[in-house]
Amino acid sequence: MNPAVGLAAFVAVSLATAAIGFYGLRISRTTSDFYVASRTVPPWWNASAIGGEYLSAASFLGVAGLILLSGTDALWFPVGYTAGYLMLLLFVAAPLRRSGAYTIPDFTEARLESKAVRRVTSLVVVAVGWLYIVPQLHGAALTIRISTGLPSWVGSVAVVVVVCLTVVAGGMRSITFVQAFQYWLKLTALAVPVVFLLLVLAGGQTEAAAGLEANPTQLPAAGPYQNISLMVALLFGTLGLPHVLVRFYTNPDGQSARRTTLIVLGLLSVFYLFPTISGALGRVFAPELARSGQADALVLLLPGRLVGGTAGELLSALVVAGAFAAFLSTTSGLVVSLAGVISQDVLGGSVRGFRLAALLAAVVPLGFAFLTDSLALAASVGLVFAFTASTICPVLLLGIWWRGLSDAGAIAGMATGAVLCGGAMVSSALLGPGNSPVWLAQPAAWTVPAAFAVMVLVSRATRKRVPRNVVRVMTRLHVPERPVATER
Amino acid sequence: MTRVRVTAPRSSAAAPARLPYSRELAENSDVGQVFVRSLIRSQLRLGLVVACGFLVIVAAFALVLAFGPGVAGTRILGIPLDWLLIGAGIYPVIGLSAWLYNRAAARNEARYCDLAEDR
């Protein structure tokens, strides 16, 4: 790939992000402008923004790479990423919007009337956010190395610098517009090359099918336990992601939160067709990438390999731009929500505190990213989902639907989930890939039920600690905002 | 309009503004609470039914692909059946479940509002 093309793509995306961010400055006036865009954002914009923030390095690069490596087993990843939003719609979207909370710690504090719960939730949220930023930076490192030939660290540092500059300078005020733009950029960046490749390659389908079924590596197929555990992680992990909640607040009421989620599901379904096709094309036409350990770079390399010439360069530039849009949007969404939590709980919530917190939120994972090696991107993000599913998901679900939840139960449950799932992640990392038993490598199937069980049992044992405002809060969560009589 | 400086989410911002009349009623009376409880129960039941339905369909997909006779070699337009079903076939199921859920959830809420206002 021509280094200048890759660099130009990266600079263009960064500038566009900053420009849209700063343009929005003019329409941000009040607190509610900043957080909820005055609730005037149409559902389509809002849904695009949610999609833009959600589709990370794992979706853009990782899914296709994993499909190249492990074929049909990996097809469950995009299904799980999408179905996670279905679970979010069914159990969380409308009540969470009605709770009026901006962040997950806000929600748990209001629901359980406890500062201690707030602090524990904040810790978990920060851990999740940091864990989730690391694979984004790995993705950036890979992309820079492949597209420009510069050393890997340049990519991670560049993403952190761009995100910090925009967040600290206040350029993320119109974050809704930035994220919505990023969704459509990502979709175009994947769809155009894939459609082009399909047109170029039209014909010769019979050999294609044989290529799909061939196994390019000697990796064994995943067993039923792994697939089930993965689905548990992805289905229940999505609804606990810290940067997802604040986006829902942009909806005017619970009903429109549900409508927005429906659109998000449509946008995600359309998007995931393209990494799936990319992965399939890679399996047929570039299986050697799997053997040389470059599976995650498949999406970046495919246009150059199959088309070549100027067209190939242009398509590659588009893909690189989309990849950086993915890293920037997810990272900035996470940094903003983490900075909110850190500055509120640790630094007292001043402007300087927020800026310092934003730096902290971005620089710590940069350190992690240098210390760790990139596994398969989609798989490492899958682990983050397992962690959220074992910690934040139980407290949200039980908090929304069960009156009996107590503060002691919430803390015990989150701690159990964090220790079990975190322990499994650390020990399987220490054992190394391939050596750890499946139940350690994919822990969600047992850590999520364990966290739920502990939360319920401890709440039962501490019935006296159930907050007295539970009736009021539950009413607020579930009763529609407007008298619906006007709607019929 | 005046400019304000925004630094961090303020938990005080989450405090409820004035509630609509029907909600105040719902919170303060025993009858109102009966309605609220039944609304929550019906929404939870609905969510669980849709989630279970979706999971059953997905499990059926997986089982058919694993054990269905003659599935292994089946191709449509040259693409193996399992790639088509998991790679593209599940998304419409997700969308349909979500759409049905939205309609039913809105109906539950409308029924609640009718009850709460008729009193």
CB proximity list for B104: less than 8 A, separation 6 or greater:
B46, B50
Quick one: how many helices (H) and strands (E) in chain B? 4, 2
CA A315, chain centre distance (Å): 25
Q: Quick check: A212 and B40 CB within 8 A?
A: no
Distance separating alpha carbons of residues A18 and A103, to the nearest angstrom? 25
Model pLDDT, residue B98: 93
pLDDT tens-digit readout, A334-371: 888 888 888 877 776 666 777 888 888 888 888 888 88
Minimal C-alpha gap between B15 and chain A (Å): 7
Average pLDDT, integer, range A232-246:
85
Q: What is the pLDDT of residues A299-331, one digit of tens each?
A: 888 888 877 778 888 888 888 888 888 888 888
Nearest by CB: B78 against A35, A209, A471: A209
Of the pLDDT bands very low, low, confident and very high (cuts 50, 70, 90), residue A199 is: confident
How large is the average pLDDT for residues B41-53?
A: 93
pLDDT at B69 over 80: no
Contact A90 B51 (CB under 8 A): yes
| Strand B79-80 versus strand B75-76 pairing type | antiparallel
pLDDT band per the 50, 70, 90 thresholds, residue B23: low
Question: From the list A351, A476, A483, which residue is nearest B7 (CB)?
Answer: A351
In the predicted model, is pLDDT for residue A42 greater than 80? no
Q: What is the DSSP string of A352-416?
A: HHHHHHHHHHHHHHHHHHHHS----HHHHHHHHHHHHHHHHHHHHHHHHH-TT--HHHHHHHHHH
pLDDT of residue B52: 94
Residue of B28, B31, B76, B94 best to disrupt the A interface, most CBs of A under 10 A:
B94
Residue appearing with tokens 């340049």: A154
Residue ranges covered by each domain of chain A: 3-374
Q: What is the arithmetic mean of pLDDT over B17-43?
A: 71
Tell whether B40 is within 8 A of chain A (Cβ). Answer: yes
CB contacts under 8 A, B 55-94 vs A, are: 58, 62, 65, 75, 77-80, 82-83, 86-88, 90-92, 94
CB contact under 8 A, A89 and B117: no
Q: What top-level class would CATH report for the domain A3-374?
A: mainly alpha
Query: Which range is most confident: A166-180, A231-245, B36-50, B105-119?
Result: B36-50
Q: Give the percent of chain A with pLDDT over 90.
A: 18
Residue of A nearest to B52 (CA): A87
With beta carbons under 8 A apart, name residues in chain A contacting B100.
none
Chain B, residues 3-32, CB within 8 A of chain A, namely 3-11, 13-16, 19-23, 26-27
Q: Do residue B10 and residue A485 have CB atoms under 8 angstroms apart? A: no
pLDDT at A270: 92
ipTM: 0.85
In whole numbers, what is the pLDDT of chain A averaged over residues?
A: 82
Among A39-43, A82-86, A410-414, the least confident range: A39-43
Q: What residues of chain B lie within 8 A of the CB of A399, using their CB? A: none
Query: Which residues does A104 contact at the CB level (< 8 Å), separation at least 6?
Result: A121, A125, A240, A242, A245, A392, A396
Going A400 to A403 to A406 to A409, the CA torsion angle's sign is negative
Residue A221 phi, psi (nearest 5): -70, 150
pLDDT of A145 over the 90 cut: no
- What pLDDT score was predicted for residue A36? 47
Enter the tokens of residue A100.
């009026």
State pTM to two decimals.
Answer: 0.86
